[in-house]
Structure formats: C-alpha cells, structure tokens
C-alpha cells in the first residue's frame, strides 16, 4: 500500500501518517525528518534546506526528489510506504510517478486532510518542538508532561521559527500556490480521498482507515 498524505502545513497529516504507518506496518517517510536530520548533523544539504525552511519557503525540488526516490527503493518499503511532506509540487509528483513506473508500480492513495487556514494559524501557534530529538507537541492538544521539556529526552521545547504566525501565513500562501494543485493532479488519477481534518485526531484516523480498509 503506497500512500501520499496531502494537506496544509499544520493540518495534522504528520500525526496521521505515523498512526497509519504503525497500523499497517509500513515505513513513515517524512522529508521534514530527513531535512531536520541533515540540519542537526550540519550537512551542506541541511544548511541549504534550513535557509528555505526558516523563511517558510519550500525546499527546491532537486534537493528532495533524489532523497525520496532513494529511500523508497529500500527493502523496508517493499510492502508499501506512506509519504508525508512529499511531493509538494507537480514536478515532484511527476518525478515520483516516473520513478515508480520504472518498477511497474504506482501510488495507491492520496489522502487530503482538509483544514481551513484560520484553524491552521491557531493550531501552529501552539506547537512546540524538541530541537534535539524532533518530537512535536501542542500546548493545548498534546502538551508535554513537564512544561517546556520534551517527554522523550528532557531537552527544551520551543516554538519553531516556521510555526510563528507571520511565517505560517507565508507557508499557507506557498501551499495554496504550489501544493494545492496536487489535489487536482491526484483526483485525475482517481486516487484522491479527502477527510475533514477539523475533527478529533481519533475521528480523522477512523475516517482514513475506513478508506484504506482494516
């Protein structure tokens, strides 16, 4: 089962992707995790990616496509995978399709977690991230056990630059301009499914599993 998660930044698609990966025993592949690992390790790719991410801009296609295609070729993806944060543009989607076609494969589902912009801004302002291990929290919906400290490693949690209101507005504009066209792209392929992302986390998950099957 090969799944793409779509939705605006902050729609909750990352959380859903992790839950789906666990339920169906397939890898959760997040470009955000790949970028953060490179940033933490101080690689050249990480430095380039950080420049774009700190401004709320998308990382250019050429910095992402090869990484993802290499990742889905690994053995643990033979039974499927779930992509979170990729593709973000039509050229990325076309590059992914071309890579899959070479192996006589194709994507099975593109799931759009639909949330209005105003909900996104409120949600992301409450997000907190651990810069050490990458864990994410929310001051209302998913708070840490000890305020300001990561449950996993005990490091400080912070409001990331790309979650600040002015950056979120910019990220949403970029999303509508560059990523939202993917909804029509996958609709034409008859693999698009949409769920109401304003519902509770568990209800969104049950709606998605109803689409994918038990």
DSSP at 175: I
Say what the pLDDT of residue 125 is: 87
CA-to-CA distance for 120 and 100, rounded, in angstroms? 32
Catalytic residue among 149, 160, 164, 193: 160
Return the structure tokens found at 4: 């793409």
Yes or no: say if 148 and 157 are a contact pair by the CB < 8 Å rule: yes
For the question of residue 71 being annotated catalytic, the response is no
CA-to-CA distance for 193 and 63, rounded, in angstroms? 28
H/E stretch holding 3 reads: strand 2-6
Task: Tell me which residue has tokens 């909900």.
Answer: 119
Catalytic residue among 36, 88, 123, 128: 88
pTM, to two decimals? 0.76
CA-to-CA distance for 161 and 159, rounded, in angstroms? 7
Beta strands in 52-201, from DSSP E residues, in sequence order: 81-84, 109-114, 127-130, 136-138, 157-158, 192-196
For the question of residue 36 being annotated catalytic, the response is no
Yes or no: say if 80 and 2 are a contact pair by the CB < 8 Å rule: yes
Domains annotated on the chain, with CATH: 2-117+170-212 (3.40.50.300)
Say what the pLDDT of residue 60 is: 82
Residue from 65, 23, 58 nearest 172 by CA: 58
Which residues contact residue 89 at a Cβ distance below 8 angstroms, ignoring those fewer than 6 apart? 58, 61, 178, 179, 181, 182
Say what the pLDDT of residue 149 is: 96
For the question of residue 13 being annotated catalytic, the response is yes
Say what the pLDDT of residue 48 is: 85
Return the structure tokens found at 188: 């034409």
Catalytic residue among 13, 36, 123, 128: 13
H/E stretch holding 46 reads: helix 44-53
H/E stretch holding 73 reads: none
Give the bridge partners for 130, in sequence order.
Answer: 157
| Below-50 pLDDT ranges, the chain | none
Task: Tell me which residue has tokens 């909804």.
Answer: 183
């Amino acid at each position: 089962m090969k799944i793409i998660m779509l939705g605006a930044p902050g729609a909750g698609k990352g959380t859903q992707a992790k839950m789906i990966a666990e339920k169906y025993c397939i890898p959760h592949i997040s470009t955000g995790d790949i970028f953060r690992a490179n940033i933490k390790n101080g690689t050249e790719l990480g430095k380039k990616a950080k420049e774009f991410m700190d401004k709320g801009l998308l990382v250019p296609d050429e910095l992402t496509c090869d990484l993802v295609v290499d990742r889905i070729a690994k053995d643990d993806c033979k039974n499927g995978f779930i992509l979170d944060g990729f593709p973000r543009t039509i050229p990325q989607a076309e590059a992914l399709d071309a890579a899959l076609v070479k192996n006589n494969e194709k994507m099975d589902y593109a799931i759009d977690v639909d949330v209005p912009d105003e909900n996104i801004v409120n949600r992301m302002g409450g997000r907190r991230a651990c810069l050490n291990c990458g864990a994410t929290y929310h001051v209302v919906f998913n708070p840490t056990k000890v305020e300001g400290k990561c449950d996993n490693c005990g490091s400080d949690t912070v409001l990331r630059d790309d979650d600040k209101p002015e950056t979120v507005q910019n990220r949403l504009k970029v999303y509508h301009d560059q990523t939202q066209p993917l909804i029509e792209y996958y609709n034409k392929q008859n693999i698009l499914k949409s769920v109401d992302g304003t519902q509770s986390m568990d209800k969104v998950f049950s709606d998605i599993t109803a689409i994918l099957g038990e």
